[in-house]
Amino acid sequence: MTINILHLYPKEMNLYGDHGNILALTRRLEWRGHKTNVIHYEPGMEIPKDVDIIFGGGGQDSGQGKIEKDLKKIAKVLKEKIEAGVPTLLICGLYQLMGKYFETAEGQRIEGTGVLDLYTKAGPTRLIGNIVIDSEVFGEVVGYENHSGLTYLGEGLKPFGEVKIGDGNNDKDSGEGVRYKNCIGTYLHGPILPKNPKVTDFLIKTALKNKGESIDLRPLDDAVENKAHKVAASRPR
């Protein structure tokens, strides 16, 4: 069984080692006997029909500017896949751009794709540091946040988790990220997946289920992953 992973804008949106999320996905699939095909999507390309997992990382403002027009062109296709239940992980910059708009500190509104019912406004300071959240699906999730944007979810959307240590979406409502169908949007860098194998396996299980395959994943030795998780959770803010 080959799992096709769509990696959105790997050159422009690869901040804080987000490529490590692709490595976590491919390794945990390969260790269980599955083949992987990572599709590196760049501006101007076409998104293939057969996509099993979608991933998009974070990026600086310059990187976001390079992909803004192209992202709007493929927004319809991405929305169709997310609505169809394709497991998706969006980090920081691409999490923001999937919303309705980003409002700058000067009040300029940059239109987003509208794939997700959320919006972001520039905040007065950066929210930086280790972060721990509690997810009703995944339990404790750890990562590192570094963003000045303050994100607010629309009615009907649930956060990825509740902030225990850190700031989260906006440092006001205790929510971090978003969960919509099988899509996860989050500010957690780190990268997130190597230290949170439950989240990785959720993406894998969902992809296999969508293909009609067994989701009874063979257990792996997660001693290293769990130690990394524990160390990250214990670090001071």
Secondary element (H or E) of residue 120? strand 118-135
> Which residue's structure tokens are 């708009």?
101
* C-beta of residue 189 within 8 angstroms of C-beta of residue 14: no
92, 147, 183, 229: the active-site residue: 92
- β-bridge mates for residue 103, sequence order: 109, 121
7, 147, 183, 189: the active-site residue: 189
Q: Is 113 helix (H, G, I), strand (E, B) or coil?
A: coil
For 234, list phi and psi in degrees, rounded to 5: -90, -10
Compute the distance between CA of residue 77 and CA of residue 43 in angstroms, rounded to an integer.
14
* C-beta of residue 200 within 8 angstroms of C-beta of residue 28: yes
Q: Is 34 a catalytic residue?
A: no
- Candidates 131, 65, 53, 55; CA nearest to 97 is 65
Per residue in 89-102, is it b (16+ CB within 10 Å) or e — as a string? bbbbbbbbbbbbbb
Residues with active-site annotation: 92, 189
